[in-house]
Amino acid sequence: MATTASFDVSTGADLQEVDNAVNQALKEIAQRYDFKGTHCTIAFDRDKAVLRLSADDEYRMNALQDVLQGRMVKRGVPLRNLDAGALEQGTGQSVRRTITLTQGIPADAARKIVKAVRDAGLKKVQASIQGDEVRVSGPSKDDLQAAMALLRGQDFGVELKFGNYRG
């Protein structure tokens, strides 16, 4: 009896690591000389996976975002899953920016992943969208590893994670 092996393609950031990165960035901002006397803040809404940045001006907003991204890289948070919104003018000269964290594969990216697997011509390998994940299954583990290599080599706009490998 032939068994089928499968793996799941997903994306997302560990929210605890994002929280740690935000706390480290806030500590660095409090100690840096170029941020002394300014009103730069980072607020993290864990339930909605949204970061809200506010700064006195556009220059400080860019510096604030650089500090935050540097801390996220050190904590292992994929920057490709950050979707920075447009710069909004606040009261006076202050500016705000909302950054959303992509926690699941968007529907259009999932369709592109399924199409890429189908177009690759791998024997009996099938991909199906299951919620915010894509499940790739096939009888041969070698073909599944080839599908993983294919997906790693392409750009779908989000950081891909491969898990739940069943053989």
Q: Domains in the chain, ordered, with CATH?
A: 5-11+105-166 (3.30.70.860), 15-101 (3.30.70.990)
Q: Enumerate the β-bridge partners of residue 134.
A: 9, 129
Q: What are phi and psi of 74, to 5 degrees?
A: -65, -30
d(CA 87, CA 95): 7
Q: What angle do CA 63, 82, 47 make, to 5 degrees?
A: 110
Helix axes 58-75, 15-31, angle to 10 degrees: 130
Please give the average per-residue pLDDT across 52-75, as a whole number. 93
Strands (E), 111-158: 126-130, 133-138
Say yes or no to pLDDT of 2 above 60. no
d(CA 111, CA 109): 5
Q: Enumerate the β-bridge partners of residue 129.
A: 134
State how far the alpha carbon of 85 is from the alpha carbons of 82, 94, 98, 125, in Å: 9, 16, 5, 37
Tens of pLDDT, residues 118-160: 888 888 888 899 988 999 998 888 888 888 999 999 888 888 8
Query: Which residues, in sequence order, are CB contacts of 25 under 8 Å at separation 6+?
Result: 42, 64, 67, 68, 70, 71
Average pLDDT, the chain: 89
Please give the average per-residue pLDDT across 83-106, as a whole number. 89
Please give the average per-residue pLDDT across 22-48, as a whole number. 91
| pTM given for the model | 0.82
Give buried/exposed letters for 38-62 (b at 16+ CB in 10 A, else e): bebebebeeeebebebbbbeeebbe
